[in-house]
């Protein structure tokens, strides 16, 4: 085979024969549809192709296919692609092929103490170790050596690797800048500086991955210093990959890449969009309910795969990881050695839940991350895109759940600019989780040997005989005990708080006008409603204080939470403490609590019918600030409306 400049690609006779056989198989199989991005369509040697196939890779992703020949033929490149589209392999494959069978093979240094032929810069330690691990998968079979340089770990082991010789150096700008400028240091940088510097004179490739993120993290000077260390840039091929192209990235491309550089752009003028392989869900949850609801979200949506939970602060990551069974934290305050052990354990499946800050987990490419949970909406749209992009990678599907406080959070900008349409879901209800646990308990019973039956049969028969419950009911209690449920707690649909019930109050006609929702002060008593106008809370006062001939104490009405108006304006939704629910339903006799003045309000809405419903699903709600949202449970959960009471004309 020939490169674009006429140089021969060195394939063995065996490889040439294999290519011909492969071609004949395709030609003779007319029913088989050819994949234009299949590995056999590219100048990939047998050893590398076999390693790729062992990893389950049979064809290249678009960014890889579009850049392979460009890089292998020696051109500088600016590559743009969204997260999860395979940018790492896009530069790895042609570099490895060039070093072992292509243009760089004859000119690269070999032997003990050889200087590196490849330098790859990445913004974070986690990304650096990940790309290093990816190179290690392939370089062993190709006779190459790779080392990784990053901060937070001892210099000496990295110095030893450099002295022995490395073909590929992967690292973060800070550590590589220090080594390139001052040399590797022992124990303490300030006490002793060793002038044995990293040698970039034999460099063939330099790669900037996640260039826009390097800008955001403040690595501008470091990156420019490192790139400037290469004296004869004309002999070095420079590859720049970035999801976006801010001015600094354009400046770097103009300053350090050759004028005839190529550009491959899979983004174009489009704004960054969230992955279409991901199911995007928003779920209302107050901050205090997170630790209660997250285990149930994992149970419902992770499908037994890995879960990454994002928090905004390091403290919250550590705290939440401590509350979740089997979870581990990942953030900048954790020692590097511990972080590496944590990532290794997460990848290998020793534990399945990782709680991380955004920077610590940026760019991680871990197989089978089924679920992403964001504890609150991020500050910017790009952060949401990158977080949710940790799942649904490499053509797979995933789920991203974002928690939000209905009274504080506004995610409409994220929805608008990220290009997603959020599914609005309520928290998994304890009863639904219990049903799943009961089914799992039933499977465990089915696995028990029949030989144990005689031992327990007499006790079981006595229990059935002495109990007023049916055998099925007794078995249900046994399953509940096995599953760990001695009681079923309630959970709010509005805030996900346990021990609260969501109540829907419906009226036969609109109960407010928009101008009446702008009252700045709350309502302290029923009489106050007449002075402040016809407000959202007023209908709740009316519906709950005046229920036929019953009365509800004012302090109970004041204890309701999360009041929201329905979209049609004919009702309100709010949370009631489980312990107060019966009182909301039953009320108290009017003559014991209510004064005559209180009932004068009724004349304002004559013939109004009020319905209060304890709900397990709400179709649509409008908050007081006018932002509409929906709440629903998974498809298999049936709507259950119970304890309904009506009020005749007031």
Query: Which one has a higher pLDDT value, 531 or 605?
Result: 531
Q: Which tokens hold the place of 456?
A: 């327990």
pLDDT bracket for residue 617 (50, 70, 90): very low
Query: Which one has a higher pLDDT value, 572 or 63?
Result: 63
Query: Which one has a higher pLDDT value, 616 or 626?
Result: 616
Average pLDDT, whole number, for the chain? 73
Query: Which one has a higher pLDDT value, 314 or 22?
Result: 314
Query: Which one has a higher pLDDT value, 540 or 383?
Result: 383
Give the model confidence (pLDDT) of 236-246 as tens digits: 999 999 877 88
Query: Which one has a higher pLDDT value, 200 or 33?
Result: 200
DSSP state of 491: B
Q: Which tokens hold the place of 200?
A: 């970039």
- H helix runs in 281-313, sequence order: 290-301
Give the model confidence (pLDDT) of 156-215 as tens digits: 787 788 888 899 999 888 766 655 555 543 322 222 223 345 788 889 999 999 888 887
User: HSE of 595 in the Cβ direction (CA atoms, 13 Å)?
Assistant: 6
Number of residues that make up the chain: 650
- According to the model, what pLDDT value does residue 109 have? 82
User: HSE of 315 in the Cβ direction (CA atoms, 13 Å)?
Assistant: 0
pTM, 2 dp: 0.54
pLDDT bracket for residue 373 (50, 70, 90): very high
Query: Which one has a higher pLDDT value, 586 or 481?
Result: 481
- According to the model, what pLDDT value does residue 16 have? 57
- Could you count the other beta carbons within 10 Å of the beta carbon of residue 124? 21
Query: Which one has a higher pLDDT value, 526 or 355?
Result: 355
In Å, what is the CA distance from 485 to each residue of 302, 434, 600?
Answer: 22, 7, 48
Q: In angstroms, rounded to a whole number, what is the distance separating the alpha carbons of residues 38 and 322?
A: 46
Question: Would you say 98 and 168 are in contact if contact means Cβ atoms under 8 Å apart?
Answer: no
Question: Would you say 511 and 584 are in contact if contact means Cβ atoms under 8 Å apart?
Answer: no
- Could you count the other beta carbons within 10 Å of the beta carbon of residue 112? 7
- According to the model, what pLDDT value does residue 434 have? 79
Superfamily of domain 278-425: P-loop containing nucleotide triphosphate hydrolases (3.40.50.300)
At residue 567, φ and ψ (nearest 5 deg) are: -65, -30
Q: Residues 305-324: what's their mean pLDDT?
A: 90
- SS3 state at 505: strand
- Could you count the other beta carbons within 10 Å of the beta carbon of residue 579? 10
Give the model confidence (pLDDT) of 384-437 as tens digits: 888 888 888 777 889 999 998 877 777 888 888 888 889 888 777 777 777 877
- Do 278-425 and 13-265 fall under one CATH topology? yes
Please write down the HEC assignment for all residues of 612-650.
Answer: EEECCCCCCEECCCCCEECCCCCCCCCCCCEEEEEECCC
- According to the model, what pLDDT value does residue 536 have? 42
Question: Would you say 375 and 319 are in contact if contact means Cβ atoms under 8 Å apart?
Answer: no
Give the model confidence (pLDDT) of 565-577 as tens digits: 666 666 677 788 8
Question: Would you say 348 and 285 are in contact if contact means Cβ atoms under 8 Å apart?
Answer: no
Give the model confidence (pLDDT) of 249-276 as tens digits: 888 899 999 999 999 988 776 666 777 8
Query: Kindly report the CA angle at 590 between 585 and 592, in degrees rounded to 5?
Result: 110
In Å, what is the CA distance from 194 to each residue of 160, 182, 184, 190, 580?
Answer: 13, 7, 6, 11, 73
- As beta bridge partners, residue 564 has 573
Indicate if the alpha-carbon torsion angle 275, 277, 283, 289 is positive or negative. negative
- The domain locations on the chain are 13-265, 278-425, 439-483, 500-647
pLDDT bracket for residue 508 (50, 70, 90): low
- According to the model, what pLDDT value does residue 578 have? 82
- According to the model, what pLDDT value does residue 42 have? 92
Q: Kindly indicate whether the domain formed by 13-265 is annotated with CATH number 3.40.50.300.
A: yes
- According to the model, what pLDDT value does residue 531 have? 39
Question: Would you say 434 and 485 are in contact if contact means Cβ atoms under 8 Å apart?
Answer: yes
User: HSE of 192 in the Cβ direction (CA atoms, 13 Å)?
Assistant: 9
């Amino acid at each position: 085979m020939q490169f674009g400049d006429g140089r021969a690609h060195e394939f063995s006779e065996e490889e040439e024969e294999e290519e011909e056989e492969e071609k004949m198989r395709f030609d003779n199989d007319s029913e088989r549809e050819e994949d234009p991005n299949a590995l056999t369509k590219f100048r990939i040697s047998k050893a590398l192709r076999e390693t790729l196939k062992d990893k389950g890779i049979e064809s290249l992703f678009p960014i890889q296919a579009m850049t392979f020949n460009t890089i292998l033929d020696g051109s500088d490149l600016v590559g743009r692609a969204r997260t999860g589209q395979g940018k790492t392999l896009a530069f790895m494959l042609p570099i490895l092929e060039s070093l072992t069978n292509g243009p760089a093979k004859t000119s690269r240094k070999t032997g003990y103490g050889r200087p590196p032929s490849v330098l790859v810069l990445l913004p974070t330690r986690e990304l650096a170790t990940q790309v290093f691990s990816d190179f290690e998968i392939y370089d062993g079979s190709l006779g190459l050596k790779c080392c990784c340089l990053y901060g937070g770990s001892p210099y000496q082991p990295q110095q030893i690797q450099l002295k022995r010789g490395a073909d590929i150096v992967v690292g973060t700008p800070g550590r590589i800048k220090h080594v390139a400028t001052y040399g590797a240091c022992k124990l303490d940088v300030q006490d002793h500086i060793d002038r044995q510097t990293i040698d970039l004179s034999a460099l063939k490739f330099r790669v900037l991955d996640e260039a826009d993120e390097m800008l955001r993290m403040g690595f501008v000077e470091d990156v420019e210093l490192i790139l400037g260390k290469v004296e004869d840039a004309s002999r070095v091929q420079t590859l720049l990959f970035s999801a976006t192209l801010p001015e600094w990235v354009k400046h770097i491309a103009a300053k350090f890449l050759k004028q005839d550089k190529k550009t491959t752009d899979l983004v174009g003028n489009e704004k960054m969009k969230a992955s279409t392989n991901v199911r995007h869900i928003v779920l209302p949850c107050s901050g205090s309910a997170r630790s209660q609801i997250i285990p149930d979200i994992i149970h419902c949506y992770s499908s037994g795969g890995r879960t990454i939970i994002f928090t905004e602060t390091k403290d919250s990551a550590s705290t939440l990881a401590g509350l979740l069974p089997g979870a581990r934290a990942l953030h900048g305050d954790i020692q590097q050695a511990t972080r590496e052990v944590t990532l290794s354990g997460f990848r290998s499946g020793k534990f399945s839940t990782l709680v991380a800050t955004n920077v610590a987990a940026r760019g991680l490419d871990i197989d089978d991350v089924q679920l992403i949970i964001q504890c609150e909406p991020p500050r910017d749209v790009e952060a949401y895109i990158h977080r949710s992009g940790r799942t649904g990678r490499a053509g797979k599907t995933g789920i991203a759940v974002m928690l939000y406080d209905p009274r504080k959070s506004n995610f409409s900008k994220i929805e608008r600019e990220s290009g997603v349409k959020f599914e609005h879901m309520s928290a998994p209800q304890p009863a639904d989780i219990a049903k799943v646990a009961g089914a799992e308990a039933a499977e465990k019973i089915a696995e028990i040997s029949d030989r144990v039956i005689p031992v327990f049969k007499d006790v079981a028969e006595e229990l059935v005989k002495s109990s007023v419950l049916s055998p099925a009911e007794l078995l249900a209690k046994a399953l509940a005990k096995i599953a760990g449920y001695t009681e079923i707690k309630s959970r709010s649909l509005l805030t996900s708080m346990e021990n609260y019930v969501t109540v829907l109050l419906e009226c036969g006609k609109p109960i407010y006008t928009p101008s009446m929702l702008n009252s700045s002060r709350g309502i302290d008593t029923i009489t106050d409603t007449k002075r402040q106008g016809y407000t959202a809370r007023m209908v709740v006062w009316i519906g709950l204080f005046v229920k036929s001939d019953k009365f509800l104490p004012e302090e109970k009405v004041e204890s309701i939470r999360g009041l929201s108006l329905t979209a049609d304006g004919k009702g309100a939704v709010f949370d009631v403490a489980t312990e107060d629910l019966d009182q909301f339903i039953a009320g108290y006799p009017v003559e014991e609590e209510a004064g005559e003045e209180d009932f004068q309000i009724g004349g304002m809405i004559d013939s109004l019918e009020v319905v209060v419903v304890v709900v397990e699903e709400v179709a649509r709600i409008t908050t007081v600030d006018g932002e509409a949202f929906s709440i629903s449970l998974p498809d298999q959960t049936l709507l259950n409306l119970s304890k309904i009471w009506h009020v005749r004309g007031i």
